[in-house]
Chain A
């Protein structure tokens, strides 16, 4: 393992100052599941590691009342297990509870955090599709202040995010799913139960009058260099009758929006085919959930 200096600030301000002082030579560590492994493999070689474990105030989960919108605010240092088992998250955003319950193993979920996972920028993770489908946003703090960015806009490229130098992701805001909608997260796991997905899909369907699709959110994981929102496919179904034919056409359009990587979880062609299959199943199951089934 590489040598480095470890800092353990007690407040967010101290952490942000350390980050400013050490700039590119510093990496921020939350649960450490990703960063420690990257340092072991020398994919990351920071001279300074800023551990956030002792920073107080970043591991709370609270319901927010934002007019009628509501939602839940999740502190960046909440472990994946904490998010999975929290009653407020389960009430406001059960899709998020479920997506977190699919991450790796209980031991890893005791360590990895919601914030650390997002800034890691790995396109194969489970939480991003669910968070993006719900329209969640991330709060990024720096010594200059705070900004709020949609989680959808965080991911720029393979393991590359929009988190700027000097910024620490401090919380995630998750709005509830639309009234009357059905939401599902499907994870295709042909190998082992603790693996990353071969493809994954989060779908939120809001049926309207008659059998019309009022709204659809369709987001795929493990299907390209970032999580992918299949906007063209969404547009095909939005405002149209939720017929088998239209759902199939929508799912087929997903194939043109994904750009999977060949790896030991499947060839790019196979993943593209599976993206269609799992998108169709996700829409069907979300629709069934919306109808109370």
Chain B
């Protein structure tokens, strides 16, 4: 049985009819066409499906769309503003933060949510925070370097 939900995704309000079993990752990808969010492990471990709900990162593969009713959701498509990449996105390009790219939307959103609450993280802070975002290309040093440089860029913008 379909149920009525509404939420805001990247600043746009949506009203949808979805079955209760619809997962948020499928709702974003198939109902809204936002395919930037990837599904990897399907059990909340790999981080590819990371999106932000009310600013906090969650795993959309183990979240029911109906449980996100009323939420303010940010996906990778919502980071760039007026054609200007977010500093985390730019840093991933400049510092080799991705190889095959499938984990990248999750990595970028995880890094953004870290810098939102901790603009000056230590290397250890970054490692601890990003431990739940797996990169099967094992490009972790590039990711670490990207997040460090993104933090610098965010701080410079703030000054």
| Contact A194:B131 (CB < 8 A) given known A3-B19, A4-B20, A6-B66 | yes
Interface residues of B in 100-132 (CB under 8 A from A): 110, 128-129, 131-132
Count: A-B pairs, CB below 8 Å: 82
Closest to B71 in A: A53
We find that the number of chain B residues with CB closer than 8 angstroms to chain A is 28
**At the interface, yes or no: B21 with Cβ under 8 Å from chain A?**
yes
Task: Choose one: B3, B20, B43, B47; the contact of A107 (CB below 8 Å).
Answer: B47
Interface residues of A in 21-68 (CB under 8 A from B): 29, 32-33, 36-37, 39-40, 49, 51, 53-54
**At the interface, yes or no: A179 with Cβ under 8 Å from chain B?**
no
Task: Choose one: A5, A6, A49, A107; the contact of B57 (CB below 8 Å).
Answer: A107
B21 touching A32 by the CB < 8 A rule?
A: no
Closest to A34 in B: B62
Contacts of A3 in B (CB 8 A): 1, 19-21
A32 touching B62 by the CB < 8 A rule?
A: yes
Contacts of A88 in B (CB 8 A): none
State the Cβ distance, A237 to closest chain B Cβ, in Å. Answer: 34
Interface size of A as a range? 20 to 34
A5 touching B129 by the CB < 8 A rule?
A: no
**At the interface, yes or no: A232 with Cβ under 8 Å from chain B?**
no
Interface-central residue, A51, A106, A193, by most chain B CB under 10 Å: A106
A40 touching B42 by the CB < 8 A rule?
A: yes
| Contact A33:B44 (CB < 8 A) given known A5-B1, A5-B20 | yes
B20 touching A32 by the CB < 8 A rule?
A: no
Contacts of A143 in B (CB 8 A): none
Return the CB mask of B43-79 against A: 1 if under 8 Å, else 0. Answer: 1110100100000111100111011011000000000
Task: Choose one: B19, B42, B45, B58; the contact of A110 (CB below 8 Å).
Answer: B58
Closest to A105 in B: B132
Contacts of A110 in B (CB 8 A): 56-58
Contacts of B1 in A (CB 8 A): 3, 5
A106 touching B44 by the CB < 8 A rule?
A: no
Could you tell me the distance between the alpha carbons of A159 and B66 in the complex, rounded to whole angstroms?
A: 26
Could you tell me the distance between the alpha carbons of A36 and B44 in the complex, rounded to whole angstroms?
A: 10
A1 touching B23 by the CB < 8 A rule?
A: yes
Closest to A29 in B: B67
B44 touching A8 by the CB < 8 A rule?
A: no
**At the interface, yes or no: A261 with Cβ under 8 Å from chain B?**
no
Contacts of A54 in B (CB 8 A): 69-70
| Contact A32:B67 (CB < 8 A) given known A49-B20, A107-B132 | yes
Interface-central residue, B23, B56, B70, by most chain A CB under 10 Å: B56
Would you list 16 pairs from A and B whose C-beta atoms are within 8 A, ordered by A residue? A1-B21, A4-B20, A6-B20, A8-B69, A29-B67, A36-B62, A37-B62, A40-B42, A40-B43, A49-B20, A54-B70, A81-B56, A106-B132, A110-B58, A111-B63, A194-B45
Excluding A3-B1, A108-B44, A110-B56, 17 further A-B contacts by CB distance (< 8 Å) are A2-B21, A3-B19, A4-B20, A6-B20, A32-B64, A36-B23, A40-B42, A40-B43, A49-B20, A106-B57, A106-B132, A107-B57, A107-B132, A111-B59, A111-B63, A194-B45, A194-B131
